[in-house]
């Protein structure tokens, strides 16, 4: 059977733990055919590892989107988009694609960097992306921004934020408590408009977790393309990224990426679920 075609509209992380590199590696691990339309290139200062984001010219993004859409992706994921213009283009590309799976990873900051990439982006994501999102995968910070609730510190806060984001049009929401929520387990909250499900795994080391969010959203996209329900897709994506984090490794004095292949190559991790 032909592989499902999965397109990421995202940035390039030259260190290759996050961004479109994480997406492509994760798509491959899920037996899907990964494709890319590149929106920006992130480079790091070798001395300080400060991130520098260089957007690609919009006409070059348009050419890539035209090509990719003509191939007929079965599912589309977004990652770092960088500007309101690019967010609009991503929405148009999804509308034109005929695909019915749109996974929005609303990347606002890079881990280790606390400056929001561009505040106007939040409004554009709310207006352009959420109404079309099959699944949206904000981390704790991003969920606070999208919901307008600000800082979230508890599962109860996450439930309220998920309900707000659902009202904005996203069909399925998963808020990643993950590294940011103070807790003994790694919790994520799933909401489908009716029930809240708390997903958890053991909490593993968090020094070498670069790319965890991208990997989680890419795995969700691939699982949906392969026919899983949103609930299954997210649960399996969480197991996949938990193994990737457990086996994360030190790249240099600044960063350590997750091991995108760990779930298939090294070990499976169990995910627990309960309705809350
Ligand atoms: N230390 C950890 N151990 C296990 N799972 C984790 C850990 N940190 C994050 N996760 C999981 O990894 C996924 C990505 O979460 P997170 O790192 O918070 O996202 P982002 O990279 O977008 O900020 C989520 O499923 C989260 O629960
Ligand atoms: C291109 C790109 N996309 C997305 C991200 C976000 O990565 P994470 O999966 O750690 O949230 C980064 C972070 O460096 C990045 O460089
Ligand atoms: Mg992220």
Per-residue pLDDT band for 115 (boundaries 50, 70, 90) equals low
99 CA distance to ligand 3 middle (Å)? 23
Ligand 1 atom nearest the C-alpha of 238 is 25
Closest residue by Cα to atom 26, ligand 1, is 178
pLDDT of 166 higher than 60 = yes
Would you say the CB of residue 111 lies under 6 angstroms from ligand 2? yes
57 CA distance to ligand 1 middle (Å)? 32
pLDDT digits (tens, 9 = 90+) for 177-224: 987 888 899 999 999 999 999 999 999 999 999 999 999 999 999 999
pLDDT of 249 higher than 70 = yes
Tell me the average pLDDT across 246-255: 98
- Cα–Cα distance for residue pair 99/195, rounded to 1 Å: 26
Helix, coil or strand: residue 56: coil
pLDDT digits (tens, 9 = 90+) for 31-68: 999 999 999 999 999 999 999 999 999 999 999 999 99
pLDDT of 169 higher than 90 = yes
Q: What is the mean pLDDT of the chain?
A: 96
Would you say the CB of residue 117 lies under 6 angstroms from ligand 2? no
Closest residue by Cα to atom 4, ligand 1, is 203
Give the contacts of 41 (CB within 8 A, at least 6 positions apart). 11, 12, 14, 53, 54, 56
Ligand 2 atom nearest the C-alpha of 40 is 1
Would you say the CB of residue 178 lies under 6 angstroms from ligand 2? no
106 CA distance to ligand 3 middle (Å)? 7
Tell me the average pLDDT across 242-249: 98
Measuring CA to CA, which residue among 114, 44, 122 is closest to residue 81? Answer: 122
- Cα–Cα distance for residue pair 83/88, rounded to 1 Å: 9
Would you say the CB of residue 217 lies under 6 angstroms from ligand 2? no
Pick left, alpha or beta for residue 227 (phi over 0 → left; psi -120 to 50 → alpha; otherwise beta). left
- What pLDDT is stored for residue 113 in this prediction? 54
- What pLDDT is stored for residue 133 in this prediction? 98
Per-residue pLDDT band for 273 (boundaries 50, 70, 90) equals very high
Would you say the CB of residue 212 lies under 6 angstroms from ligand 2? yes
pLDDT of 78 higher than 80 = yes
pLDDT digits (tens, 9 = 90+) for 87-102: 999 999 999 999 999 9
Tell me the average pLDDT across 72-100: 97
- What pLDDT is stored for residue 165 in this prediction? 98
Would you say the CB of residue 238 lies under 6 angstroms from ligand 1? yes
Per-residue pLDDT band for 110 (boundaries 50, 70, 90) equals low
| Region 5-275: CATH code | 3.40.1190.20
- Bridge partners of 38, per DSSP, are 10
pLDDT digits (tens, 9 = 90+) for 234-244: 999 999 999 99
- Cα–Cα distance for residue pair 226/272, rounded to 1 Å: 22
- What pLDDT is stored for residue 241 in this prediction? 98
Ligand nearest to the CA of 179: 1
Would you say the CB of residue 13 lies under 6 angstroms from ligand 2? yes
Residue 71, Cβ density class (10 Å: 0-12 exposed, 13-18 middle, ≥19 buried) = exposed
Measuring CA to CA, which residue among 82, 100, 98 is closest to residue 37? Answer: 82
pLDDT of 112 higher than 60 = no
Residue 232, Cβ density class (10 Å: 0-12 exposed, 13-18 middle, ≥19 buried) = middle
2 CA distance to ligand 3 middle (Å)? 30
80 CA distance to ligand 2 middle (Å)? 7
- Cα–Cα distance for residue pair 126/124, rounded to 1 Å: 5
- What pLDDT is stored for residue 229 in this prediction? 98
Closest residue by Cα to atom 11, ligand 1, is 178
- Cα–Cα distance for residue pair 50/84, rounded to 1 Å: 23
Domain boundaries, the chain: 5-275
Query: 104, 170 in Cβ contact below 8 A?
Result: yes
Residue with tokens 């996203």: 170
Query: 187, 181 in Cβ contact below 8 A?
Result: yes
pLDDT of 261 higher than 90 = yes
- What pLDDT is stored for residue 243 in this prediction? 98
């Amino acid at each position: 059977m032909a592989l499902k075609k999965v397109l990421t509209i995202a940035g390039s992380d030259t260190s290759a733990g996050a961004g479109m590199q994480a997406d492509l590696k994760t798509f491959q691990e899920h037996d899907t055919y990964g494709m890319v339309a590149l929106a920006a290139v992130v480079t790091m200062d070798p001395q300080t590892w400060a991130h520098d984001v260089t957007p690609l010219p919009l006409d070059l993004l348009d050419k890539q989107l035209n090509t990719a859409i003509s191939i007929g992706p079965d599912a589309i994921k977004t990652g770092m988009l960088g500007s309101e213009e690019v967010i609009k283009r991503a929405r148009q590309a999804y509308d034109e694609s005929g695909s019915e799976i749109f996974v929005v990873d609303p990347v606002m900051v890079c881990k280790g960097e606390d400056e929001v990439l561009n505040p106007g982006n939040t409004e554009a994501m709310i207006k352009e992306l959420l109404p079309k999102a099959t699944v949206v995968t904000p981390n704790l910070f991003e969920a606070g921004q999208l919901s307008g609730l600000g800082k979230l510190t508890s599962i109860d806060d996450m439930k309220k934020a998920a309900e707000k984001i659902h009202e904005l049009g996203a069909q399925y929401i998963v808020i990643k408590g993950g590294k940011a929520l103070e807790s003994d387990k790694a919790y994520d909250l799933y909401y489908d408009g009716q029930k809240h499900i708390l997903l958890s795994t053991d909490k593993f080391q968090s020094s070498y977790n670069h790319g965890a969010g991208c990997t989680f959203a890419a795995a969700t996209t691939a699982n949906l393309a392969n026919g899983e329900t949103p609930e299954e897709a997210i649960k399996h994506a969480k197991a996949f990224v938990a193994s990737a984090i457990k086996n994360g490794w030190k790249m240099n004095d600044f960063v350590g990426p997750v091991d995108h292949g760990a779930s298939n190559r090294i070990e499976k991790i169990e995910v627990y679920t309960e309705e809350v």
